[in-house]
Structure 1
Amino acid sequence: MVLCLSCLLGFAPALGRTQPPGVASRPAPGGNQLIPIEQQPFYPQLQRDADNWSDVVLDQVVGDSPRSTLLNFYAVMADVGHRADRLGQTPDAGRRGGVSRQEQIDDTTLLFNLAVKALDASAFAESVRSDMADEAAIQLKHVLDYVLTHSRQPIDIPDVEGMKQRNDLRSTPTDSWRIPGTAITLTSDLEGDPENESFYFSAGTVASARAMYDEIRDIPVIAQPFATPRFYADFIYTPGYLIPPDWYLALPLQWRRVLEWPIGDQTLFQVVSAAVFIGLYGVLALWLMRLLINTYRGESLPANEDLELYSRDALAWKRVFIIFPLLPLTYFIEDLIDNILNFTGFPLVVVIYSFYVIWYVAASVLVFFLFEAFGRSGAESLSRWRGSDSPMRLRRINSLVMPISRAIGMLVSVVLIYRLLLLLGLPSSTVLAFSAVPGLAIGLGASKLLGNLFAGLSIQTDRPLRVGEFCEVGGKLGFVTKIGLRSMELQTLESRVTIPNSVADEATIVNFSRRGLSRHRSPTQGLEVRLPIRDPLSPYQLEELLRQMRRLLEGASFQSQLAGSHQPVVSLGPSDAGGNELIVFVMVELHGWEAFLRVRETLMVALEELLERVDLSEIVVGVAYSTTAEQLQRIPELLHSVVAEDPQLNYEACRLVRISAFSYDHELEISSTHDRHDDFEDSMHRLNRRILAILGENGIEIPFPTQTLEVHSTDATP
Structure 2
Amino acid sequence: MKKPTVWAICFLLSLALVHLPLYPTLAETSGESIEASTGNQIRLIEQPFYPELQNIANRWNRSYMGEVEGKTPQYTLLNFYGVMAKVASKIEWVSTKATTEPGFRWSEESKQTIKEAELLFNSAVESLDGSLIPESTRSDRREEAALKLKEILDYVLDNSSSALAIPNTSNDQDWRLPSTGIHLAKGKRNQDSPLAGDEYFFTPETINNIPRMYSFIKQSDRNPIENDFATPNLYKQYTYTPGQLVPPKWYLKLPLGIRNLFERPIGDQSLLQICLAFIVTTIYLPIVYILTHNFLSTFKHRKGAKKTSIWLEDNKAWGRLAFIAPIPPLSAFCNYLLDQQINLTNFWLEKSALILDIAFYVSLGLTILLLFEALGRSSSEWILSFRNSKSSVELKRINNIILPSCRFLGAISSIGLMYALLIRLGLPPSTVLAFSAVPGLAIGLGAQRILGNLFSGISIQTDRPVRIGDFCKVNNEEGFVTRIGLRSIELSTFSGRVTIPNSTFDSATIQSFSKHVQSNIGPIDSDAIGQNIELQLEMPSGLGIGHLNSIVDRIKDYAATQERISKISCSFCENNNGGIILSIVALSKTNQEWEKYLNIRQNLVSEIRLIVALIKNTKQMVSVGRQTKPELIEQIPNIIEAIINEDPQLSMSYCRLSSISDYSLDFVFNMEAKYTDIGEFLNAVAALKQKILLTFSNNGIHIPYPTSVELQTNPFEQPINFEGSLTTSEPSDAI
**Structure 1 length-normalised TM:** 0.83
Query: Is 1:115 aligned to residue 124 of structure 2?
Result: yes
Aligned partners of 2:663, 2:273: CA distance in 1, in Å?
Answer: 119
Q: Is the 8 A contact 1:87 1:94 kept in 2?
A: no
Q: Which residue of 2 aligns with 1:24?
A: none
Query: Is 1:539 aligned to residue 560 of structure 2?
Result: no
User: Quick one: which of 47, 54, 79 aligns to 1:72?
Assistant: 79
- RMSD over aligned CA atoms reads 3.5
Residue 227 of structure 1: SS of its match in structure 2? coil
CA shift for structure 1 position 283: 0.9
Q: Is the 8 A contact 1:176 1:189 kept in 2?
A: no
Change over 3 Å in CA distance of 1:330–1:29 after alignment to 2: closer
Q: Is the 8 A contact 2:129 2:189 kept in 1?
A: no
Q: Is the 8 A contact 1:360 1:416 kept in 2?
A: yes
Residue 656 of structure 1: SS of its match in structure 2? strand
CA shift for structure 1 position 359: 0.9
Change over 3 Å in CA distance of 1:552–1:153 after alignment to 2: farther
**Structure 2 length-normalised TM:** 0.81
Residue 224 of structure 1: SS of its match in structure 2? coil
In the alignment, residue 537 of structure 1 is paired with which amino acid?
S
Q: Which moved more, 1:120-129 or 1:76-85?
A: 76-85
Aligned partners of 1:544, 1:343: CA distance in 2, in Å?
Answer: 99
Superposed CA deviations along residues 194-252 of structure 1, whole A, max 9, x for unmatched, are 99544332333234333332333324442111111111112111221122223333444
Q: Is the 8 A contact 1:75 1:226 kept in 2?
A: yes
Aligned partners of 1:609, 1:474: CA distance in 2, in Å?
Answer: 34
Matched ranges for 1:332-343 at <5 A: 332-343=333-344
Superposed CA deviations along residues 283-305 of structure 1, whole A, max 9, x for unmatched, are 11111112212222355998477
Superposed CA deviations along residues 485-531 of structure 1, whole A, max 9, x for unmatched, are 33322111122223333443344433222345779464322212355
Q: Is the 8 A contact 2:335 2:356 kept in 1?
A: yes
User: Quick one: which of 32, 38, 47 aligns to 1:40?
Assistant: 47
Change over 3 Å in CA distance of 1:271–1:703 after alignment to 2: farther
Q: Which residue of 2 aligns with 1:149?
A: 158
In the alignment, residue 237 of structure 1 is paired with which amino acid?
Y
Matched ranges for 1:129-168 at <5 A: 129-159=138-168, 162-163=169-170, 167=171
Matched ranges for 1:696-707 at <5 A: 700=701, 705=706
In the alignment, structure 2 segments of 5+ residues that lack a partner are 1-34, 709-735
Residue 472 of structure 1: SS of its match in structure 2? strand
Matched ranges for 1:221-620 at <5 A: 221-298=224-301, 303=306, 308-445=309-446, 448-515=449-516, 520=524, 522=526, 523-531=529-537, 536-540=540-544, 543-544=545-546, 546-555=548-557, 558-559=559-560, 561=562, 563-566=564-567, 568-571=569-572, 582-590=582-590, 591-620=592-621
Superposed CA deviations along residues 563-612 of structure 1, whole A, max 9, x for unmatched, are 24335244467699x97664422222222202211211221221121122
Q: Which residue of 1 aligns with 2:180?
A: 182
Change over 3 Å in CA distance of 1:496–1:619 after alignment to 2: same
In the alignment, residue 108 of structure 1 is paired with which amino acid?
A
Change over 3 Å in CA distance of 1:280–1:521 after alignment to 2: closer
Aligned partners of 2:427, 2:283: CA distance in 1, in Å?
Answer: 31
CA shift for structure 1 position 326: 0.8
Superposed CA deviations along residues 658-687 of structure 1, whole A, max 9, x for unmatched, are 346875332212234555556755765675
Aligned partners of 1:702, 1:485: CA distance in 2, in Å?
Answer: 78
Superposed CA deviations along residues 47-104 of structure 1, whole A, max 9, x for unmatched, are 2332333343454333444333322221221122233345446842578998543443
Query: Is 1:92 aligned to residue 131 of structure 2?
Result: no
In the alignment, residue 148 of structure 1 is paired with which amino acid?
L
Q: Is the 8 A contact 2:400 2:484 kept in 1?
A: yes
In the alignment, residue 454 of structure 1 is paired with which amino acid?
F
Aligned partners of 1:176, 1:690: CA distance in 2, in Å?
Answer: 129
In the alignment, residue 127 of structure 1 is paired with which amino acid?
S
In the alignment, residue 142 of structure 1 is paired with which amino acid?
E
The number of residues matched between the two structures is 661
Q: Which residue of 1 aligns with 2:16?
A: none
Name the % identity.
38
Residue 664 of structure 1: SS of its match in structure 2? strand
Change over 3 Å in CA distance of 1:538–1:270 after alignment to 2: same
Residue 490 of structure 1: SS of its match in structure 2? strand
Change over 3 Å in CA distance of 1:129–1:635 after alignment to 2: same
Aligned partners of 1:626, 1:333: CA distance in 2, in Å?
Answer: 117
Aligned partners of 2:253, 2:285: CA distance in 1, in Å?
Answer: 31
Q: Which residue of 2 aligns with 1:621?
A: 622
CA shift for structure 1 position 115: 1.8
Aligned partners of 2:312, 2:437: CA distance in 1, in Å?
Answer: 39
Aligned partners of 2:120, 2:561: CA distance in 1, in Å?
Answer: 84
